[in-house]
Structure 1
Amino acid sequence: MPPMTLQPLPRGLIVSCQARPDNPLHGPAFMVAMAHAAQGGGAVAIRTEGLADVAAIHAALSLPVIGLIKRDGRADGVYITPEVVDVTALVSAGAQWVALDATLARPETELRELIAAAHAAGVGVLADLATVEDAVRAVDCGVDALATTLHGYTPGTRAEHRGVPNLDLLARLVGRFPQLPVVAEGRFGTPQHVAAAFGAGAHAAVVGTAITNPREITRALAGAVPDSP
């Protein structure tokens, strides 16, 4: 069971401030600026990747930080906070919540170990999921909140990726697990998407690219320019 000191997950808009190494905005200075802007706009928490960004945002802002680490290379494809050492490092960097891949791709014994490590450190676990079946096991293992983050990105759900949020999965999780906060994440990018998420019962909604990735925003807008007058 999680400790009594666990910080509740705020209700509202969570902004994902992440930039891969090939992004011009990669690095703590840029992500702190993004996080400040998000806080000013009404975000209730920041989701961010990497120890440097977690530490910098935690030091600069009063908002809770949901931290994660992405690492490729595992045979099972698990890359969001793959190891127990990642959990402990994120906590040391200042994360109040840890997000991790809780899909069935991850061995159950390992999932339980990561959750136990987070709870021992006094932080909550946000389970990034792709299916209801993932959620059933994650809840049994003791996670503190559920997110639709990985739907459309796992081998079993990739064919269902249609470029829009999966409100059906969101509503099914809300109905199945009323005792836990359910977070809408994955292709939520407009005010209408956010409103629909809360209409489906979401506790919070995560928006990333549509707020904090100017390159992709520009690419989408530039793609609307016709080839010729």
Structure 2
Amino acid sequence: MNKKTEVFSKIKGGLIVSCQALDNEPLYSSYIMSRMAYAAQLGGACGIRANSPEDIIKIKETVDLPVIGLYKNNFNDSEVYITPTEECVDALIESKPDIIAIDATNRLRPFGITLDEFFKKIRSKYPDMIFMGDCSCLEDGIHAEELGFDLVGTTLCGYTKDTQDTELPNISLMKQLTSTLKIPVIAEGGIWSPEELKAAIDSGVHAAVVGTAITRPMEITKRFVNAIKV
């Protein structure tokens, strides 16, 4: 069994928990994210999605689950922030995630680089790495498969100008992608309840990611508080 087959087998039909905190959030800490990941593992998660080499290293020291790694970086000349540059990929490779997630929308990367230019170079540089394309729509997914991504996610639906008003989770998009593509599809974005998670899995996706609803207590608290505001 090769690495890709093994990783895909481990996450099939399961819940991947996104353990992320940005530097302006209360739980920002590689140690805290590693404990979040450990709690997720004990709860039955099949994988972890994590941001930054530092967090990935700490999480992989703590849990024995496949890790989808990404590296969020903001640039003034681009809307792309999920692993936007070659340097971000290089840094992630050093932390040894099982999968690397990259923005796979048609938006220009920093310095005016297209997705096609960017991914061709990255794939050539790291031919054995498993790459996940974070998509916003069906067209993104189709193009990502054509470029050679190993799997795609619905991660960026609702987070681009063309999809910003989309109701999440977008079960319809999940069904469209799974019925169109040959590569695995990961459901991600806006899954807040076990019922929504079940609906996502039932759409035919390979696995599903839940983040905020599990690992961001400030946002969870806000939802409860807003429910009782007069």
Q: Same fold (TM over 0.5)?
A: yes
Quick one: distance in 2 between partners of 1:64 and 1:74? 32
Residue of structure 1 in register with 2:24 after alignment? 22
Residue of structure 2 in register with 1:8 after alignment? 7
The one-letter code of the counterpart of 1:158 is Q
The alignment status of 1:143 with 2:149, answered yes or no, reads yes
Quick one: distance in 1 between partners of 2:90 and 2:98? 11
Residue of structure 2 in register with 1:192 after alignment? 195
Residue of structure 1 in register with 2:54 after alignment? 52
**Mapped contact 1:98–1:118 kept (Cα < 8 A):** no
From 86, 98, 101, the equivalent of 1:99 is: 101
Quick one: distance in 2 between partners of 1:116 and 1:54? 23
What does 1:160-199 align with in structure 2 at a 5 Å threshold?
160=166, 162=167, 164-177=168-181, 179-199=182-202
Residue of structure 2 in register with 1:159 after alignment? 165
**Deviation, structure 1 residue 74:** 4.7
Question: Any stretches of 5+ residues in structure 2 without a counterpart?
Answer: 109-113
Query: Residues 47 and 118 from structure 1, CA distance in 2 versus in 1: closer, same or farther, beyond 3 angstroms?
Result: farther
Question: Any stretches of 5+ residues in structure 1 without a counterpart?
Answer: none
RMSD over aligned Cα atoms: 1.3
Residue of structure 1 in register with 2:136 after alignment? 130
The one-letter code of the counterpart of 2:27 is L
Residue of structure 1 in register with 2:120 after alignment? 112
TM-score, with normalisation over the residues of structure 1? 0.91
What does 1:207-222 align with in structure 2 at a 5 Å threshold?
207-222=210-225
Residue of structure 1 in register with 2:87 after alignment? 85
SS of residue paired to 2:228: coil
The alignment status of 1:64 with 2:43, answered yes or no, reads no
**Mapped contact 2:7–2:66 kept (Cα < 8 A):** no
Report the identity percentage.
38
Q: Say which structure is richer in helix.
A: 2
**Deviation, structure 1 residue 136:** 1.6
From 201, 225, 228, the equivalent of 1:225 is: 228
Query: Residues 83 and 149 from structure 1, CA distance in 2 versus in 1: closer, same or farther, beyond 3 angstroms?
Result: same
**Mapped contact 2:7–2:98 kept (Cα < 8 A):** no
SS of residue paired to 1:152: coil
The one-letter code of the counterpart of 1:125 is F
Quick one: distance in 2 between partners of 1:194 and 1:148? 13
The one-letter code of the counterpart of 1:139 is E
From 74, 77, 93, the equivalent of 1:75 is: 77
Quick one: distance in 1 between partners of 2:56 and 2:76? 23
Query: Residues 116 and 189 from structure 1, CA distance in 2 versus in 1: closer, same or farther, beyond 3 angstroms?
Result: farther
